[in-house]
Amino acid sequence: LVVSSVHPPDDPRIREKTIGSLQTEWDVTYATRLPGPTSKEGITWLALRGGRMARLFTASMLILSRTWDVVSVHDPELLPAALVRSLLGRSTVFDLHEDVPAQMLDKSWIPSPLRRPLAWTFGMMLRVSERAILITVAEDSYGHLLSGSPAVIRNHLNLEGLPPPVSDTSEVAYLGDITKLRGASAAVAFARGAGLPLVMVGRRQPELQRELESIAGSDVAIEFTGHLDHESALARVATATVGVSPLHDVGNYSHSMPTKVLEYLALGVGAVVSDLPGTRSVVEGLPGVAFVRPGDDAAWEEAGHDLDLRRLREEARSGVEEVRSRFAWPDDEVRDVYRRAFAG
């Protein structure tokens, strides 16, 4: 059983990558919220219905069931159920996608006085859980959350889902959820400086869309595609001259590697990215990458004006094979982890 009650059903790390690796060797049931994954080929899908709490309860009951040989859990909210299952002697894998304690410190929906205590509580729960659960992490930098040495399954590229490089249509692309902390306004500023239209591929709140349209005015034409399945999203940004990753220097973003940057480069699209330690440590020196100061819209607009974006794309195009070779999803490593889980 692979289960997530909060991630989008088509979450690439879960649906394409993890399940793609597992279903070559085992029968996989995937439990997730409606409307379910776009492709159900090769899997059994279980719908988690209702609101967030109802889905959490249903998912927890599934995790505790004796039905499954191994359960793969992907939400922080489900860690308590995963821990109970493991203490009952049932094989469980918990995949930590993000630095959750760091994220909690920046979540606006969590009351400020509760953020630090909740972050501490989750961190302690992780350390207790690692004694019973096989924990995997998406980044080397998340290792500090655990006392041991977890298996690192880096969120690299699903090569089968990548379209081939194509000619560009003179636009700037932004891929991923559209939020203030992800630098949505900086993307608009960059497009203004570049004198190019902007396509934003991802979920957004209506009030933020209105704010971005107001910032853009008549200077920047913005296309909001809304959420697209991963394959369609990659195909949409593949025609861009450059893709941007203007994350702010906060919490999890500071030391994590945004997968979208590797996806831009693997498509032959130039990447203009926030100069953050986690990003620089991975892509510094790769062709087609330019760094900009995070959280500074004026700097992003200046970069859009000053950078030679055509040259950046040409450089990225020259490095496609290197990026696809170096940053491929580690199928064998994933299966090795789950073989250990099956072995008990």
User: What local confidence, expressed as pLDDT, does residue 344 receive?
Assistant: 76
Backbone φ and ψ of 183, nearest 5° = 85, 35
Helical H segments across the chain, by residue range: 19-22, 52-64, 79-87, 100-104, 112-129, 184-194, 206-216, 230-237, 251-255, 259-266, 277-283, 297-306, 309-318, 320-326, 331-343
User: What local confidence, expressed as pLDDT, does residue 148 receive?
Assistant: 86
Supply 127's token pair. Answer: 């350390």
* Torsion sign, CA atoms 91, 97, 103, 107: negative
Distance CA 255, CA 70 (A): 31
- Residues 6 or more apart whose CB falls under 8 angstroms from that of 85 comprise 63, 64, 71, 92
CA distances from 282 to 19, 30, 255, 303, 332 (A): 25, 32, 10, 21, 22
Distance CA 2, CA 214 (A): 42
User: What local confidence, expressed as pLDDT, does residue 106 receive?
Assistant: 79
Number of C-beta neighbours around residue 72 at 10 A: 28
CA–CA–CA angle 107, 110, 111 (5° rounding): 125
User: What local confidence, expressed as pLDDT, does residue 109 receive?
Assistant: 77
Beta strands at 44-48 and 29-33: parallel, antiparallel or unpaired = parallel
Are 262 and 289 within 8 A, CB to CB?
Answer: no
User: What local confidence, expressed as pLDDT, does residue 54 receive?
Assistant: 98
Are 223 and 333 within 8 A, CB to CB?
Answer: no
**Regions of the chain short of the pLDDT cut 50:** none
User: What local confidence, expressed as pLDDT, does residue 206 receive?
Assistant: 96
Are 257 and 279 within 8 A, CB to CB?
Answer: yes
Distance CA 338, CA 318 (A): 36
User: What local confidence, expressed as pLDDT, does residue 110 receive?
Assistant: 85
Are 143 and 149 within 8 A, CB to CB?
Answer: yes
Q: Which domains does the chain have, with CATH numbers?
A: 2-156+329-343 (3.40.50.2000), 159-326 (3.40.50.2000)
Backbone φ and ψ of 4, nearest 5° = -150, 130
Are 144 and 123 within 8 A, CB to CB?
Answer: no
User: What local confidence, expressed as pLDDT, does residue 143 receive?
Assistant: 87
Are 81 and 4 within 8 A, CB to CB?
Answer: no
